């Protein structure tokens, strides 16, 4: 019988984490590395990636960086190839790279809409397809973890955010996750999503400055997300402990989406 400790181990596994240079992406990359996975982190800028890799390696994690802008359609396959070159076949893909946009619906420009959709949805699709084709489908194994948002589970309450493009993109990720899980289960690939609530990050800095206390007070747990709060979920979905979980969306939001 496999022990619980062994079920959560990622020793010998490989992981690619997009948007991994800081914030939630780096938190998840750290968690996977702490459990034994070798990790490639990607982001658009080399400077942040160098700092992330240094931090990961300081903790004894085998870490590598690849610069990639997934708003460029050609970048997805190039990133998949580069990650495989550094690690070998990819066992775990965390699709975390994303862009936000806040504006009233009537003032949202086509350029803003396309910027969000091209990265959050098209880039996620192309990278998932590339990793699936090149690594997971041939080996009939893999774990894909998409980072959605509670913004993709419901609309915004009146008087709060105006994020039509962002929220629509995250809603698309929710059903992308469910639909792909139905298709790729035949290959032994698990596909799940994490839907974070409000966490301090560069993307949420302005919002939380204005509304952080109100948002925390509206959560049943009375707090915002923190530096440790995604670690358990990403390890569950990536490891043998989650092998019978697919097509699921896990909100990590202090209970906001429950009420």
Nearest to 228 by CA among 31, 79, 83, 57: 31
Q: What CATH number should be reported for the domain holding residue 40?
A: 3.40.50.720
Residue pointed to by tokens 């459990």: 35
Using a 10 angstrom Cβ sphere, with 0-12 exposed, 13-18 middle and 19 or more buried, the burial of residue 218 is middle
Residue 166 bears catalytic tag: yes
Give the residue numbers spanning the domain of 126: 4-258
pLDDT at 210: 59
Tokens of 177: 């996750």
Number of domains in the chain: 1
> Tens of pLDDT along 147-197?
999 999 998 877 777 889 999 999 999 999 999 999 999 999 999 999 999
Distances in Å between the Cα of 142 and the Cα atoms of 48, 116, 145 are 28, 27, 10
DSSP H helices in 97-195:
110-117, 124-131, 137-139, 164-184
Query: How many whole angstroms separate alpha carbon 177 and alpha carbon 192?
Result: 6
Closest listed residue to residue 127, CA positions, set 98, 95, 149: 95
Q: Using a pLDDT cut of 70, give the percent of the chain over it.
A: 94
Share of the chain above pLDDT 90, in %: 79
Catalytic hit among 18, 84, 166, 253: 166
Give residue 208's pLDDT: 60
Q: pLDDT tens-digit profile of 8-35? A: 999 999 999 999 999 999 999 999 999 9
Mean residue pLDDT of the chain comes to 93
Instruction: Kindly tell me the sign of the dihedral angle through the C-alpha atoms of 197, 195, 163, 19.
Output: positive
- Return the structure tokens found at 55: 């931090």
């Amino acid at each position: 019988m496999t022990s619980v400790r062994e079920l959560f181990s990622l020793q010998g596994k490989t992981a690619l984490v997009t948007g991994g240079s800081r914030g939630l992406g780096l938190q998840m990359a750290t968690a996977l590395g702490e459990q034994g996975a070798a990790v490639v982190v990607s982001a658009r800028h080399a400077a942040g990636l160098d700092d992330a890799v240094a931090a990961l390696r300081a903790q004894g994690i085998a870490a590598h960086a690849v610069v990639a802008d997934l708003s460029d359609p050609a970048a997805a396959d190039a990133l998949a190839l580069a990650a495989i070159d550094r690690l070998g076949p990819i066992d775990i893909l965390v699709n975390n790279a994303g862009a936000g946009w806040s504006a009233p619906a009537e003032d949202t420009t086509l350029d803003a809409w396309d910027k969000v959709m091209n990265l959050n949805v098209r880039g996620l699709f192309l990278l998932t397809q590339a990793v699936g084709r090149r690594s997971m489908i041939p080996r009939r194994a893999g774990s894909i973890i998409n980072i959605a948002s509670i913004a993709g589970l419901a609309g915004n309450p009146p008087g709060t955010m105006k994020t039509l493009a962002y929220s629509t993109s995250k809603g698309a990720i929710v059903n992308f996750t469910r639909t792909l899980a139905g298709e790729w289960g035949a290959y032994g690939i698990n596909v799940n999503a994490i839907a974070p609530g409000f966490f301090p990050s560069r993307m949420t800095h302005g919002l939380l400055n204005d509304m952080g206390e109100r948002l925390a007070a509206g959560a049943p747990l009375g707090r915002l997300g923190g530096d440790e709060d995604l670690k358990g979920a990403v390890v569950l979905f990536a490891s043998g402990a989650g092998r019978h979980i697919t097509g699921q969306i896990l909100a990590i939001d202090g209970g906001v989406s429950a009420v």
